[in-house]
């Protein structure tokens, strides 16, 4: 098997098999597997991903040995199919498709009808007795080849086509007759000659070689690179090339082509699901240019073929133990399966399918849990359009990807990116294409005028978890005028609309949204997850409203309450500012006293909401100048309220200016230099806990957390002060409560001296945002300028502020955990940086032995799932 | 010996001995030692430092047991001296002095003549047949007791005294006769009564108890705390109290009191050295109120006593194996030694004495080296007044502390601190007192009108290494009018003067200074140091002039050349700015090309100066905005030169603004995002080295150092680029040179992943400035605001930017060294942060196994000495 670069499949036998995804790509392995399973698949061969790698290593050339193996495969294909390249009577036509290990829909370019030329087209016309089909196929082939292989813009071909249609007064492509198509072929060939100074290649073998090279080259086109980056697919996998004998769904009305899923990919319902187009080629379905028929109609049109399709796809689902996404073509009532793969699905569908399959005993609970990408369930955790609100529906399309989207309308992907930085946008397109991906990513939702449930827009939006209403044919979109019409109603760029991805409804204006709930299959699934999970999940929440969301999502406590957020409210900020602007401790105490009552009520609200769950409260962290007026106007307004002269406010603000506020007078440094601030906060926390116990019998054990500790002496100082005040309050309140004092580990020095710090701390919470900033020397606010280049140049695999840098910052965490526990073996350790909601980082937290992660309320279920997966993965590893 | 709190000494026998400094303090141990050595010392007892600690632990009270031991000691002293407290005929008078483990001159308060009261003074007058002396002693005692023990301001007593003098038309205290003194005593007592509502205590035992308490309390007075902070003396040592029978140097002209050194403490010359005042008490000498006689005059006045003094002090020097600083009193031609201690000396003297004593075989070379505080030799490394310049000397005082000082005149310590932040100042005072210490520290030099070589100003200035001209009696200082007169010449506040601490000369205006050299004893001493030293010493130098200084001071290479400093010069900055303001790589390359020729010449200059020694060059490090105009005016000027519109310059500057530039777009991040900058720098470095080899046969092996690496990929990227360019240049130049590529370790992540980084690095250089900033999360530019509080609150023992935080940042360094060497056992490792010149930090560098330290040129000899001490200390530890 050494140096085997080409794998043949056909006549119920394949060189490869379904396990060989690395080498044959997902599609190639699937074709081999299906062939071996006696599923009707057009014969063909797969050129391995190794060849792609050699291609790049070998200055974009193929060795003689590889060329030879390809020729031999072509010969075998000719034998098996009984057709021949360049044979006018019985021509072999092939498709050339890319196929990487991971499915990258629409990313890689496909060429159909390869093998056609001026002579063969005549033969094909005769053989099929359908000259229009033959010339249309040739026309399409030249167009595709010209674009994908020769690199001429699609719009150049479109211009030739449009001109022809204008000339004869046609609106649709189907109005073109044979002679029109022949004219068009001439026009296309002229275009190619004028662009490249070379003729369109007539020799099928040359066509094939060029097409194979083009597939390899497309591996590094920018759409492919973007997709891989978005989906974290490695660049060095390479793609395979699948060359397969063409079958035709467009030879007449006894032909068809279609795509389908064994279960509904939007809802997960266990119902055969798909679409087809009669007399069409596959790409007509996917491109969304014509809106296809639902598959049930096939049962009426061709009942025998429909039954065969149902049998085959059922076998496929059982075989692969997962939902299948398949493509088929019916040539003269004969069924060919072109492809099958694991079906992409919405989060909602993924959960339902997983739960159903456990109930059907097709998979285990562990498998069900490992099968859901935690990131994906994010889709289920965001608001939906409020069902109670009356909505003025102006149009209805296909519910292509669920959820709600509310935003201002934009008509180009670039606009979506630009406007999307300022606010929420909805991308409206006649249809989307791979060039639009960055815009879809930037938008809240996507609305298209054409295309079905498997159109590009629908597939990509579901993958991204974007709400999508597709094929909304009742609206008229003018991308040039930057507006769309729904009957008389005109929606212009910048106007607000709302989309309901669950119903396909389009509503003008902003519709209110409501929180989703974890009920039904989702609730069931999360319960299973919790049963495997070993580490706790808490939420970062500063106000009762957030705490409530978190608790509903299953948070087992608050891991980080940032008290400073409480001071930014309109009714508190002036007192905070007064405190900061005070020159003496006495004046500061006066202002702090005013803040005390607010703080106490804030904490009572939080404690009450969490009803006995632990609540970790961090003392004041940000540099004080963050609270002060940003300009003279704000200073003047403040001056009126607190009666301090504008000049004095400005001068103090200036004096508090810092060169590097991130490394400045903040965190525990505030509490150490202004102990009265810590005193006030501790007083508020403990009083709140005491009062709540007395008033409502709610037992709270507050966890007071000192930020930015780098040295045990800092913690000691603040701890002594905290205990002093806490004991004073407890004595005043005449009630017994418990409290804990711990620290953030977010300064690198704290991690490497964690053994010292642990002697004074009752718990650690890793503040990985700051630990990343300081540990890497990266200011998050400034790194945007160069981190992009770092990702492009592959200096970083990931943005370290999104996914924990396990190799570096993770090392500091490991040192911190190990040193901390060396002194206190049962030290409670958690994480409260943004990484606490990132699945990869959660797995790391599990691995190093943390007790809990804390993340934003909306990410709590994601964290629960990721934690469960980490447990299962670990026990699987252990079992091995 | 358990629970022994009081140690007696007298009659040639002492309870304690010279080793017991911890318990008895330096002074107490010295008195015990001298007593045991049969040296004539007035009898007395020492209350231990433990009592001071108990005093603070016990709410500032003493236990009955301690009180009892003190009473017993008083009784024994009465027996031994044959005198008695409160005995009118034969009264016992005592001195009460503090005495900590380390000498703290002038810091702790002393009380003399304790035991006097209304009755005893009468007896003393009769016994001494000198009523004036007795009443003067009583008057002084009340004044001192009132100030030190009762806390009444000195100036309050001064006012009473001044009024009395005015009343009788006296100018000097000595003009007061007995009745005047009696009036004064009445006035003082009234003052005390009116201030405290209590009478001056008449009972000697009460006086003693109060005085002891006052000494203990003075341990925490602010002068003492400042001194300890400046001299890094721990706060918890406490002080002992020495109670000693009084002897009187002021009973008449056959009495005297004096101080002296066994060798000259300013020059180190082996010559008996001291001063005395006839008919005076000890404090008259130290306070500098009267200018004393040189000690040689004593040989004429009292030859027998002089000889006895010489014998005793010679014995003391041999006994202690070091220069002795002693105090003595002659009462009626009878010599008493009051104190002896290791003499403080100037750096110059310290070196000479150490070298001399080695030659005299009194000490070993190792001892000589360990005896010099590396910080102290700083004094010898700074410029002196240019001897070739003709100087207009307007006055001449005592050369109390060597060196040169050039600055503007200020008349108060507070002014010195304030003005000293803006420029160089010279503090001019009639005499200095402990309250002036902060001003002396802030000034370049000190000039006093009164006081001798052992006056407060002289002693403190020598300790601090400040230039001092003391006792300059020919000038008339008016602190009120803020001027001084030297003959007709008036020097006002803000005028420039120059002081020569080696000659005592005062010169108006700014006198040029010249570099010192390492010759004579100093050169000898440094050679000895080098013979023990194990690690290399390099310098941080950016320009040939600095490199030259460094080489003269013994630097063995350049450890850090900061290339950015080269771009700030007038003739380069516009090109640098042009480069930064360019929008495209091409434009940047045009500007960089202009900079290339400057850079190349800079490096040639450096390489030539270092003549084959290694030179480590760091590629561009600071954020680019540091080079851009700071305001509109600067932008306008730049606009004229580089023809870019002001608005564009301002906009680009704004765009480059960063929230935390320290953690921003700088270091290797520049070279990665703008590879053309690295290219230009490497081209300049390698071309310079090649040309120098061809032109002057100087063989240079440049070490190219990549800054701010946190991830091995960063180093890899820059290393590949460096090699590419270097090889290109070498090929162009047709000459073979070697070069090394290494990295700074200054990002915490780099330290914890040093094993990965070492795979790509040929050397490491720890950038401890940034490592401290990031590792501790402290911006050096901003930390001033809170680091003071941290030092006050003892959260930090030292400023981590001055002395390496061995416990935390040191841990990161240890991890970095260990991981780096785990991959490359012989990896060359150095340090180039400012800590590379700090003796404590150098010891750490030696300990963790670094190959070299690199520091500022002027600190090279300090580093050489510290490195030698580290070696000796390690081998001593090993030998044990």
- C-alpha closest to that of A380 among A266, A518, A525: A518
CA distance A863 to A855: 8
What CATH number is attached to the domain comprising B459?
Answer: 3.50.30.10
Distance from CA of B625 to the nearest CA of A (A): 13
What's the mean per-residue pLDDT of chain A?
A: 90
**pLDDT, tens digit (0-9, with 9 covering 90-100), for A773-805:** 999 999 988 887 788 889 888 899 888 988 999
String of DSSP letters for B336-381: EEEEEEEPP--HHHHHHHHHHHHHTTSS-HHHHHHHS-GGGGGGGG
Say whether A663 and B660 touch across the interface (CB within 8 A).
yes
- Residue of higher predicted confidence among A465 and B830: B830
**Best CA proximity match to B769, nearest among B846, B849, B855, B691:** B855
Establish if B85 belongs to a structural domain.
Answer: yes
| CATH number for B136 | 3.30.1490.20
Q: Under an 8 A CB cutoff, do A811 and B752 touch? A: yes
Which residues in chain B touch residue A753, judged by CB atoms under 8 angstroms apart? 807-808, 811
Q: What whole-number percentage of chain B has pLDDT above 70?
A: 97
Q: How far is CA A474 from its chain centroid?
A: 30
Q: From CA A755, how far away is CA A712, in angstroms rounded?
A: 9
B312 and B432, same structural domain? no
The whole-number pLDDT of residue A879 equals 47
Between B595-609, B651-665, B673-687, the lowest mean confidence (pLDDT) is in B651-665
Residues A99 and A132 in one domain: yes
Residues B199 and B223 in one domain: yes
Residue B55 lies in a domain: yes
Last residue in a domain, options B294, B324, B345: B345
List chain A residues with CB under 8 Å of B660. Answer: 660-663, 779, 781-782
pLDDT in tens, B151-209: 898 889 989 998 998 899 887 777 888 999 999 999 999 999 999 999 999 999 999 99
Q: How far apart are CA A200 and CA A191, in angstroms?
A: 10
- Collapsing DSSP to helix, strand or coil, A395 comes out as strand
Residue stretches of the annotated binding site of B for substrate:
562, 618, 746, 767-770
Residue with the bigger pLDDT between A106 and B609: it is B609
Calpha distance B34→B317 (Å, rounded):
12
Distance in Å from the first CA to the final CA of chain B: 30
Residue A496 in this model has a pLDDT that exceeds 50: yes
Domain termination site, one of A321, A345, A369: A345
Q: Which pLDDT belongs to residue B30?
A: 86
> Closest approach of chain B CAs to the CA of A532, in angstroms?
33
What's the whole-model pTM score?
Answer: 0.76
Longest dimension (CA), chain B: 103
A787 Cβ contact partners less than 8 Å away, ≥ 6 residues apart: A778, A796, A799
Chain B residues near residue A708 by CB distance under 8 angstroms: 777
CB contact under 8 A, A659 and B662: yes
Band of pLDDT at residue A179, cut at 50, 70 and 90: very high
**pLDDT at position B879:** 46
Q: What angle do CA B628, B680, B697 make, to 5 degrees?
A: 125
**pLDDT of A107 above 60:** no
Whether A522 is covered by a domain: the verdict is: no
Is B846 among the domain residues? yes
Q: What is the arithmetic mean of pLDDT over A496-518?
A: 89
Chain A: closest CA distance from residue B622 (Å): 13
pLDDT beyond 80 at A383: no
Structural contact between residues B324 and B316, judged by C-beta atoms closer than 8 angstroms: yes
Token digits of residue B154: 């000195």
The whole-number pLDDT of residue B767 equals 96
Residue A103 has pLDDT above 70, yes or no: yes
Residue A809 burial (CB count, 10 A): 30
The region of weakest confidence among A553-557, A639-643, B41-45, B46-50 is A639-643
| Active-site amino acid positions of A | 456, 832
Last residue of a domain, one of B245, B272, B307: B245
pLDDT at A297 over 70: yes
* Interchain CB distance below 8 Å, A749 and B789: no
The sign of the torsion formed by the CA atoms of A682, A688, A689, A694 equals positive
CB A511 within 8 A of CB A385: yes
Confidence of residue B456 (pLDDT cuts 50, 70, 90): confident
The answer on B283 and B397 residing in a single domain is: no
Nearest CA in chain B to A785: B665
Q: pLDDT tens digits for A753-766? A: 999 999 999 999 99
Q: Residue A501 in contact with residue A399, Cβ under 8 Å? A: yes
- Tens-digit pLDDT profile for residues B379-428: 788 778 887 888 899 999 888 887 899 999 999 998 999 999 889 999 99
Which of B559, B538, B541 lies closest to B867, judged by CA?
B538
Of A179, A162, A183, residue with least CA distance to A171: A162
Can you tell me the mean pLDDT for A116-137?
89
- Of A620-629, B629-638, B869-878, the range with the lowest mean pLDDT is B869-878
- Residue A321 near residue A362 (C-beta atoms within 8 A): yes
Hey, are the CB atoms on A711 and B781 less than 8 Å from each other?
no
Mean per-residue pLDDT, A61-69: 92
The model's pLDDT over A819-831, given as tens digits with 9 standing for 90+, comes to 999 999 999 999 9
CA distances from B579 to A503, A704, A844, B623, B656 (A): 56, 51, 44, 13, 14
**Per-residue model confidence (pLDDT) at position A1:** 35
What are the C-alpha distances in Å from B216 to residues A307, B94, B96, B141?
104, 17, 11, 19
Written as six digits, the tokens of A704 are: 């007071």
Q: In terms of residues, how long is chain A?
A: 880
Find chain B residues with C-beta within 8 A of A672's C-beta. 786, 789-790, 793, 795
pLDDT at A304 over 70: yes
Dump pLDDT digits (tens) for B708-745.
999 999 999 999 999 999 999 999 999 999 999 999 99
Q: For residue range A226-265, what is the model confidence (pLDDT) as tens digits?
A: 778 777 788 888 899 999 999 888 778 899 999 999 999 8
Residue range B215-261, pLDDT digits in tens: 998 888 777 887 787 777 888 888 999 999 998 888 788 999 999 99
- 3-class DSSP state for residue A385? strand
- Give one DSSP letter per residue of B544-601, joined into a string: HHHHHHHHHTT--SEEEEEGGGGGGSTTTHHHHHHHHH-SSHHHHHHHHHHHHHHHHH
Please check whether residue B417 lies inside any domain of the structure.
yes
Task: Name the β-bridge partners of A485.
Answer: A476, A490
* C-alpha to C-alpha distance for B482 and B478, rounded to whole angstroms: 6
Whether residue A303 is found in the same domain as residue A422: no
Q: Give the C-alpha separation, A419 to A407, whole Å.
A: 10
CB-based contact B325:B311 (threshold 8 Å): no
Determine, yes or no, domain membership for B362.
no
Measured CA distances, A186 to A146, A190, A201, A818, B180 (Å)? 13, 6, 14, 74, 132
Measuring CA to CA, how many Å separate A222 from each of A51, A115, A435, A457, B29? 21, 28, 9, 18, 83
pLDDT attached to residue A515: 76
Contact predicate B696/A817, CB 8 Å? no
- Sheet containing strand A483-486, strands side by side: A475-478, A483-486, A489-492
Q: How far is it, in rounded angstroms, from Cα A853 to Cα A839?
A: 11
CB B536 within 8 A of CB B852: yes
Residues A303, A238 within the same domain: no
- How many structural domains does chain B have? 4
Q: Are residues B91 and B224 in the same domain?
A: yes
pLDDT of residue A384: 83
Q: Which residue has the tokens 């859901």?
A: A372
Contact A809 B659 (CB under 8 A): no
Q: Which residues of A touch B756 (CB under 8 A)?
A: 807
- B490's enclosing H/E stretch is strand B489-492
The pLDDT confidence band at residue B792, using thresholds 50, 70 and 90, is confident
- What gap in Å lies between CA B493 and CA B414, rounded to an integer? 13
**Inter-chain contact A785–B664, Cβ cutoff 8 Å?**
yes
pLDDT band at A631 (very low <50, low <70, confident <90, very high): confident
Tell me, rounded to whole angstroms, the distance of Cα A365 from its chain centroid.
Answer: 24
| Whether the predicted pLDDT of A407 surpasses 90 | yes
**pLDDT score at B566:** 83
Q: Which of A114-128, B446-460, B495-509, B717-731 bottoms out in mean pLDDT, i.e. has the lowest?
A: B446-460
pLDDT band at B127 (very low <50, low <70, confident <90, very high): confident
C-alpha A443/C-alpha A451 separation (Å) is 19
For residue B785, the Cα-to-chain-centroid distance in whole angstroms is 23
- Asked if pLDDT for residue A106 goes beyond 60, the answer is no
Most confident of A472-486, A697-711, B337-351, B381-395: A697-711
B622, B667, B671, B749, best to mutate vs chain A, most A CBs in 10 Å: B749
Domain shared by B222 and B286, yes or no: no
A489-503, B94-108, B224-238, B648-662 — most confident range = A489-503
**Share above pLDDT 70 across residues of chain A, in percent, rounded to a whole number:** 97
Domain containing residue A558: CATH number? 3.20.20.60
pLDDT tens track for B805-833:
999 999 999 999 999 999 999 999 999 98
Tokens, residue B741: 């590529």
Looking at residue B284, which CATH number applies to its domain?
3.30.470.20
Residue B880 above 50 pLDDT? no
Does the pLDDT value for residue A688 go beyond 70? yes
Average pLDDT over residues A504-514: 92
Contact B753 A815 (CB under 8 A): no
What's the pLDDT at A57? 87
Summarised one tens digit per residue, pLDDT across range B528-571 is 999 999 999 999 998 898 899 899 999 999 999 999 878 887 78
**To probe the interface with B, which of A706, A777, A813 has the most B CB atoms within 10 Å?**
A777
Co-location of A239 and A264 in the same domain: no
In a domain, B520, yes or no: no
Let me know whether B596 and B681 are in one domain: yes
Cβ atoms B836, B855 nearer than 8 A:
yes
- Three-state SS at A514: strand
Q: Could you tell me the residue range of the domain that residue B290 belongs to?
A: 256-345
Same domain? B30 vs B125: yes
Flag whether the ipTM exceeds 0.85. Answer: no
Average pLDDT over residues A349-353: 93
What does the pLDDT look like over B749-766, one tens digit per residue?
999 999 999 999 999 999
| Cα within 13 Å of Cα(B145), Cβ side | 32
Task: Please give the average per-residue pLDDT across A107-114, as a whole number.
Answer: 79
pLDDT of residue A535: 96
- Name the band, by pLDDT with cuts 50, 70 and 90, for residue B1: very low
In a domain, residue A524? The reply is no
User: What does the alpha-carbon distance between residue B461 and residue B470 come to, in Å, rounded to a whole number?
Assistant: 10
d(CA A695, nearest CA chain B) in Å: 40
- The CA distance from B466 to A821, in Å, is 50
pLDDT in tens, B581-607: 998 999 999 999 999 999 999 999 999
pLDDT at A3: 84
* Residue A394 structure tokens: 């102006």
For residue A1, give both structure tokens.
């098997």
pLDDT, tens digit (0-9, with 9 covering 90-100), for A834-859: 899 999 999 999 999 999 999 988 88
**Which 8-state DSSP code applies to residue B170?**
-
pLDDT at residue A880 in the model: 43
Based on the fold, state whether residues B485 and B568 are members of the same structural domain: no
- How many Cβ contacts (< 8 angstroms) between chains A and B? 177
List, as residue ranges, the binding site of B for Mg(2+). 746, 770
């Amino acid at each position: 098997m050494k140096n085997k670069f080409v794998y043949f499949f056909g006549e119920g036998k394949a060189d490869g098999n379904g396990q060989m995804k690395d080498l044959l790509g997902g599609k190639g392995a699937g074709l081999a597997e299906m062939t071996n399973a006696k599923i009707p698949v057009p014969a063909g061969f797969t050129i391995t991903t190794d060849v792609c790698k050699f291609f790049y290593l070998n200055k974009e050339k193929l060795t003689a040995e590889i060329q030879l193996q390809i020729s031999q495969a072509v010969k075998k294909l000719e034998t098996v199919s009984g057709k021949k390249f360049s044979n006018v009577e019985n021509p072999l036509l092939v498709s050339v498709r890319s196929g990487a290990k991971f499915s990258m829909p629409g990313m890689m370019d496909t060429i159909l009808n390869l093998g056609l030329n001026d002579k063969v087209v005549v033969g094909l016309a005769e053989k099929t007795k359908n000259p229009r089909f033959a010339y249309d196929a040739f026309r399409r082939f030249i167009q595709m080849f010209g674009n994908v292989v020769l690199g001429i813009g699609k719009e150049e071909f479109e211009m030739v086509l449009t001109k022809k249609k204008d000339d004869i007064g046609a609106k649709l492509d189907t109005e073109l007759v044979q002679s029109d198509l022949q004219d068009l072929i001439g026009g296309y060939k002229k275009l190619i000659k004028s662009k490249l100074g070379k003729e369109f290649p007539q020799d099928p073998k040359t066509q094939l070689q060029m097409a194979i090279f083009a597939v390899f080259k497309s591996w590094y086109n920018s759409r492919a690179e973007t997709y891989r980056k978005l989906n974290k697919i490695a660049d060095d996998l390479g793609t395979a090339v699948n060359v397969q004998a063409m079958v035709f769904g467009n030879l007449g009305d006894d032909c068809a082509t279609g795509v389908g899923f064994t279960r509904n990919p939007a809802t997960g319902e266990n119902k055969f699901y798909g679409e087809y187009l009669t007399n069409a080629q596959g790409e007509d379905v996917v491109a969304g240019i014509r809106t296809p028929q639902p598959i049930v109609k096939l049962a009426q049109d061709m009942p025998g073929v429909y039954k065969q399709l149902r049998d085959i796809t059922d076998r496929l689902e059982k075989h692969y133990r997962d939902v299948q996404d398949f493509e088929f073509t019916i040539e003269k009532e004969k069924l060919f399966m072109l492809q099958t793969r694991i079906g992409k699905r919405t989060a909602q569908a993924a959960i339902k399918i997983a739960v159903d399959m456990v109930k059907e005993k097709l998979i285990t609970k562990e498998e069900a849990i490992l099968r859901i990408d935690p990131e994906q369930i994010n889709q289920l955790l965001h608001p939906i359009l409020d069902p109670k609100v009356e909505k003025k529906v102006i149009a209805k399309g296909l519910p292509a990807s669920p959820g709600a989207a509310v935003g201002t309308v934009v008509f180009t992907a670039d606009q979506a990116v630009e406007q999307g930085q300022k606010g929420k946008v909805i991308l409206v397109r006649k249809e989307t294409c791979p060039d639009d991906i960055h815009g879809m990513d930037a938008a809240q939702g996507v609305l298209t005028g054409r295309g079905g449930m498997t159109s590009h827009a629908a597939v990509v939006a579901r993958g991204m978890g974007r709400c999508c209403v597709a094929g909304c044919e009742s609206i008229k979109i003018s991308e040039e005028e930057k507006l769309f019409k729904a009957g008389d109603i005109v929606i212009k760029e910048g106007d607000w609309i709302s989309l309901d991805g669950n119903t396909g409804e389009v509503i003008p204006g902003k519709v209110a949204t409501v929180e989703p709930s974890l009920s039904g299959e989702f609730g069931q699934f999360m319960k299973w997850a919790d049963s495997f999970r070993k580490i706790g999940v808490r939420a970062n929440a500063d106000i009762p409203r957030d705490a409530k969301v978190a608790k509903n999502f299953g948070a087992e406590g608050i891991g980080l309450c940032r008290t400073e957020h409480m001071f930014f409210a309109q009714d508190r900020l002036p007192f905070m500012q007064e405190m900061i602007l005070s020159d003496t401790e006495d004046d500061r105490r006066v202002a702090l006293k005013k803040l005390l009552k607010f703080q106490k009520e804030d904490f009572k609200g939080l404690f009450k909401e969490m009803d006995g769950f632990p609540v970790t409260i961090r003392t004041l962290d940000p540099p004080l100048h963050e609270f002060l007026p940003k300009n003279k106007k704000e200073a003047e307004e403040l001056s009126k309220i607190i009666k301090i002269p504008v000049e004095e406010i400005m001068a103090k603000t200036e004096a508090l200016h810092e060169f590097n506020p991130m490394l400045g007078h903040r965190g525990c440094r505030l509490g150490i230099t202004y102990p009265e601030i810590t005193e006030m906060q501790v007083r508020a926390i403990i009083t709140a806990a005491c009062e709540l116990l007395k008033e409502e019998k709610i037992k709270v054990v507050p966890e007071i957390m000192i930020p930015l500790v780098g040295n045990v002496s800092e913690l000691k100082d603040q701890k002594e002060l905290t205990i002093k005040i806490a004991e004073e309050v407890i004595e005043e309140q005449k009630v017994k409560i418990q409290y804990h004092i711990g620290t953030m580990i977010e300064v690198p020095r704290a991690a490497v001296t964690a053994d010292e710090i642990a002697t004074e701390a009752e718990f650690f919470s890793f503040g990985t945002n700051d630990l990343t900033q300081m540990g890497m020397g990266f200011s998050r606010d400034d790194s945007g300028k160069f981190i992009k280049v770092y990702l492009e140049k592959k200096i970083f695999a990931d943005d370290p502020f999104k996914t924990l840098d396990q190799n570096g910052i993770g090392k500091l965490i490991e040192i911190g955990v190990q040193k901390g526990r060396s002194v206190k073996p049962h030290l409670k350790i958690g994480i409260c940086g943004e990484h606490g909601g990132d699945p990869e980082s959660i797995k790391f937290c599990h691995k190093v032995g943390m007790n809990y992660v804390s993340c934003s309320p909306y990410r709590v279920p994601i964290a629960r799932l990721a934690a469960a997966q980490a447990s299962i993965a670990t026990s699987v590893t252990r079992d091995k």
